[in-house]
Amino acid sequence: MANSLNFSPVIAGSMKWGKWGAHFNTTDYQRMIENCIEAGATTFDHADIYGNYSTEAEFGLAIKENPAIRNQVQLITKCGICMVAPNRPGHQIKHYNTSKEHIIESAERSLKNLHTDFIDLLLIHRPDALMDPGDIAEAFSQLKNSGKVLHFGVSNFNTSQTALLQSCFAVEVNQVEISILHTDPIYNGVLDQCIKEKIQPQSWSPLGGGILNGIADDERSRRIIAVAEILGEKYAAGFDQILLAWLMKHPAGITPVLGTTKAERIKAAILARSIDLSREEWYMLLRAATGHEVP
């Protein structure tokens, strides 16, 4: 499936760049952004809550100091999760808010934090039990008509939740957990819906978390890594590249969101696009993940 949103084939996830991980300073952000762009990962994934509501603004300082960066990148952010944090004193408990007012307020704050006039893609971060699709549609229409957000989508939505919102506006992206360790979207209809409705699936945690570092503390992970390393020898690739190639093989056109703080891993992920696993090799990895042959 063609990537009609014109995002890079691998998306750089910023969640661990700030207080929730590497504690980058502005120079670190600039260097990481430049290295990602050089590698071909020009799309950057954010959420308002990352770093307890601080990472967007830290990333934005890098753009403020070098405004030319903005013309080279695409920015994704998410809203709807309300966390208890020192700089959100009005939040008494963690909850979700997808009201028109909250979506617009969140988008306006993200625009300010990121030092940009527009956001390329805004996602509803989690399904809200109280969400009104008409209310969300009004917020999205207002943001689109003002030129402040270009595209809209969801994250962590199941098929019925996505269909509900589709009844009021075009859902262009669903960012969900998909990896060799989390294959549910292949079978629960999420990827089928993406193909049918021309929704771009984006995969967070595309390498299954710790498996990225070769951590195999259980039999399942050991099976997967063993097969991936055998295939890696054939394709002259690292096992992590093989696992990304496995995702990219799916006809839904999965775009991985790589939550790394290491530029070399972004570069390696981009190269995984050139690995074309055979069907049998794809199913070999699936067998390693499930522990049995397909029925």
Neighbours of 277 (CB within 10 A): 18
pTM above 0.75, yes or no: yes
Q: In which band, very low, low, confident or very high, does the pLDDT at 195 lie, cut at 50, 70 and 90?
A: very high
Q: CA 41, CA 171: separation in Å to the nearest integer?
A: 23
Residue of higher predicted confidence among 215 and 225? 225
Average pLDDT rounded to a whole number, residues 245-262? 97
pLDDT at position 209 is: 75
- Report whether 200 contacts 194 (CB < 8 A): yes
How much is the CA Rg of the chain, to the nearest whole Å?
Answer: 19
Q: Is the pLDDT of residue 13 over 90?
A: yes
Answer yes or no: are the C-beta atoms of 225 and 218 closer than 8 Å: no
Q: What homologous superfamily is domain 11-213+251-275 in, according to CATH?
A: NADP-dependent oxidoreductase domain (3.20.20.100)
The answer to whether 96 is a known catalytic residue is no
Indicate if the pLDDT at residue 2 is higher than 60: no
For range 222-230, the mean pLDDT = 93
